[in-house]
Amino acid sequence: MKRVLVTGAAGFLGSHLCDRFIKEGFYVIGMDNLITGNMENIEHLMALENFEFYHHDVSNYVHVPGNLDYILHFASPASPIDYLKIPIQTLKVGSLGTHNLLGLARAKSARMLIASTSEVYGDPLIHPQTEEYYGNVNPVGPRGVYDEAKRFQEAITMAYHTFHGLETRIVRIFNTYGPRMRLNDGRVLPAFIGQALRGEDLTVFGDGSQTRSFCYVDDQVEGIYRLLMSDYPHPVNIGNPDEITISQFAEEIIKLTGTDQKVIYKPLPKDDPMQRQPNITKAKEILGWEPKVDRKVGLKITYDYFKSLPEEKLYKKEHKDFSKYNK
């Protein structure tokens, strides 16, 4: 039985990846320090014989007994509301965490895939974004802690590939959504649905003309899996190129939820990207991948998930108290 380590296993994407590898017949080792992850996302796996969980911070030395075939590094805060509160931890998991896992991959002769992000492109000056674009990132702005952690993560991963001959893969993930997202994680899709379910006005930052491209989680996981199993070591965009403005998206959510809230506008946060759309030519050509789930279908599934949450979760404003991590 092939063995895979998934870091960030209790997070949104990490938990869906654990599900996929279990389904494919792997022995899955999940690892998470639970700073932003939630054990509820993987509790359905805990009783399985081919799943085990380590409560561990990969920014510290990582030891996993036995052989490993694959490592997927998905440990990192991923929403602005988190990484602005825990900036040092965000930088450490992208740098020290990646270094520790690359060392583990080398010791185990494992193939390692890192979760990079469309944020490496910053507020892009070309559109849509291709993998060859170097980006327009402010390293000392508030979002720099996440953007630069991911850019460093790519650089050290490629260095291990070229210098040590390690088998590595780099996925640049664009906006992804689906069940197990946190309602209050600061990203536009759960924020809008949460506001609609609570009867609040929908908050748009800026004038609403900025764009995003939303990929349903099953499509994202399929793209990641295909990239891991490919022989392509360079970055690949995985996302849905179906672009929409935030104002149009707000109207979609109001229609989906059957609510009649107003849309209110607030100032745009510093360095918030105005356009986000992947060029997925490489994914199509190299992996034979493109998204299949229509946004209307994916949003309905996601909305039903959020609607099923207990009221205390719907009205919970703070995800976690990060004070113990920031001493």
CB 157 within 8 A of CB 274: no
What are the tens digits of pLDDT across the range 232-260? 999 999 999 999 999 999 999 999 988 88
Tokens (6 digits) for 198: 């609570």
What are the tens digits of pLDDT across the range 286-309? 999 999 999 999 999 999 999 999
Nearest-10 crossing angle of helices 87-108, 144-164: 20
Residue 318 confidence (pLDDT): 67
* 78 or 229, greater pLDDT: 229
| Nearest residue to 70 (alpha-carbon basis) of 42, 37, 99, 29 | 29
Alpha helices in 62-206 (DSSP H): 80-83, 87-108, 144-164, 188-198
What are the tens digits of pLDDT across the range 90-146? 999 999 999 999 999 999 999 999 999 999 999 999 999 999 999 999 999 999 999
Rounded to two decimals, the pTM is 0.95
CB 17 within 8 A of CB 5: no
Q: What angle do CA 80, 86, 90 make, to 5 degrees?
A: 80
How much is the mean pLDDT over the chain?
Answer: 94
End-to-end CA distance of the chain: 42
Q: Active-site positions?
A: 146
